[in-house]
């Protein structure tokens, strides 16, 4: 019995089964990850998106809060071939509409062919195709979500591992995953998680050993204050960035970013280091990329599939960024040494200064 509809940009409507009722809209994207659905669903980078899982069964090892990357589900809707009761119950509690029993292979193919697209969903008793089309009509382009940072950032500074023996890190929260904080704390850093609109004066007062721009959702050009912080502290403090953080750093230093056709979302993206010629497997979740790094950043790593920049560095200015997620949970763990490199850069700068 059809009790859900998925309306795609262009007008096509796909019938489905309602699992968590409601109406919603967002940018329709897909992930190829076959594990890590709890991490994906709580990743702030999926804010304002409808997440489609290409793997056919989602929820086959339950739901455990200790695997969450944040305190809530971030996609505005969920699409899968089959959702287990554990996941359905969780999404219902979160108020996130979800549908299944549709051909996700066909849906993923359409996204790959046509690009990430606007989408409207209507699920539950008495819904109609028109309800889904009405949601689609109200859907905005991702770049039009100019205040998206406010939806995912911490409202005030929170300190983790205060008094740690490692460097002080000012982590600018543009939608940071919890695993980034954990990865830094595990290395005995003190992490100051700061709102995305933190001012230069507030960072200067903290006087951290490194400025770290986090991952986050949407268009990096909408994170003006994070961009300004990079511009303010470049050459004065070591600077690091992950995912959206790499894009923000590139924009601040004269580079350019652009929207990708359908992005990179999954746990098996191959990345080649141009200095060592080593290839590692990475977890990724982004729909924008660095189109031109500018004159101040060297591309040190590229995606094997499409040659997009995966790592940017400037040794003289103490800058290191990654487009992928070195902290990836549940894996792969090939690139976690990135955090060692960031903290070593901070330690070296502090030693030189002193």
Annotated binding site for L-glutamine: 45, 216, 218, 244, 247, 285, 287-288
Q: Which listed residue (192, 264, 286, 325) is catalytic?
A: 325
Rounded CA separation 184/150 (Å): 24
Q: What is the 3-state secondary structure (H, E, C) of 250-284?
A: HHHCCCEEEEEEEEEEEEEEEEEECCCCCEEEEEE
104: DSSP letter: H
Q: Which listed residue (243, 264, 286, 310) is catalytic?
A: 243
Alpha-carbon Rg of the chain, whole angstroms? 20
325 belongs to the catalytic site: yes
Distances in Å between the Cα of 213 and the Cα atoms of 241, 255, 303 are 5, 16, 21
> Are the beta carbons of 28 and 111 closer than 8 angstroms?
yes
243 belongs to the catalytic site: yes
Written as one string, the DSSP assignment of 137-170 is: HHPPPGGG-TTHHHHHS-SS-EEESTT-SS-EEE
- Residue 98: asked if its preceding bond is cis (omega within 30°), the reply is no
174 belongs to the catalytic site: no
- The residues near 143 (Cβ < 8 Å, ≥ 6 apart) are 218, 219, 221, 222, 259
Which runs of E-coded beta strand occur in the chain? 4-8, 13-20, 22-31, 49-53, 57-58, 77-79, 82-83, 98-100, 117-123, 158-160, 168-173, 190-195, 210-213, 239-242, 256-273, 279-292, 298-303, 309-314, 319-322
The DSSP bridge partners found for residue 288 are 259
Query: Which residues are known binding-site members?
Result: 45, 216, 218, 244, 247, 285, 287-288
> Are the beta carbons of 98 and 83 closer than 8 angstroms?
yes
Nearest to 70 by CA among 155, 179, 149, 193: 179
* Dihedral angle over CA of 27, 32, 36, 42, nearest 10: -10
By annotation, the residues acting in catalysis are: 243, 325, 327
């Amino acid at each position: 019995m059809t009790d859900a509809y998925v309306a795609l940009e262009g007008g096509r409507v796909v019938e489905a089964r309602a699992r968590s009722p409601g109406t919603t809209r967002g940018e329709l994207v897909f992930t190829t990850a076959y594990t890590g659905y709890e991490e994906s669903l709580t990743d702030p980078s999926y804010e304002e998106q409808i997440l489609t899982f290409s793997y056919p069964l989602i929820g086959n090892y339950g739901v455990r809060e200790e695997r969450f990357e944040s305190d809530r589900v971030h996609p505005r809707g969920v699409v899968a071939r089959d959702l287990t009761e554990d996941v359905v119950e969780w999404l219902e509690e979160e108020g996130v509409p979800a549908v299944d029993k549709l051909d996700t292979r066909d849906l993923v193919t359409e996204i790959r062919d046509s690009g990430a697209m606007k989408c409207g969903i209507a699920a539950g008793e008495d819904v109609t195709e028109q309800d889904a089309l009405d949601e689609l009509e109200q859907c905005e382009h991702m770049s039009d979500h100019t205040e998206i940072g406010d939806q995912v950032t911490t409202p005030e500074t929170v300190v983790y591992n205060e008094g740690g023996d490692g460097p002080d890190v000012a982590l600018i929260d543009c939608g940071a995953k919890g695993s980034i904080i954990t990865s830094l704390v595990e290395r005995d850093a003190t992490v100051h998680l700061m709102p995305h609109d933190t001012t230069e004066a507030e960072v200067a007062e903290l006087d951290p050993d490194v400025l770290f721009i986090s991952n986050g959702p949407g268009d990096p050009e909408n994170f003006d204050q994070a961009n300004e912080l990079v511009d303010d502290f470049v050459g004065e403090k070591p600077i690091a960035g992950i995912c959206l953080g790499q894009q923000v750093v590139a924009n601040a230093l004269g580079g350019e970013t652009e929207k990708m056709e359908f992005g990179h979302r999954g746990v098996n993206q191959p990345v080649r280091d141009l200095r060592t010629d080593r290839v590692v497997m990475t977890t990724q979740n982004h729909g924008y990329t660095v189109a031109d790094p500018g004159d101040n950043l060297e591309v040190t790593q590229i995606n094997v599939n499409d040659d997009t920049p995966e790592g940017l560095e400037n040794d003289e200015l103490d800058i290191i960024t990654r487009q992928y997620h070195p902290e990836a949970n549940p894996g792969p763990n090939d690139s976690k040494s990135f955090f060692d490199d960031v903290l070593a850069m901070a330690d070296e700068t502090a030693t030189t200064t002193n």
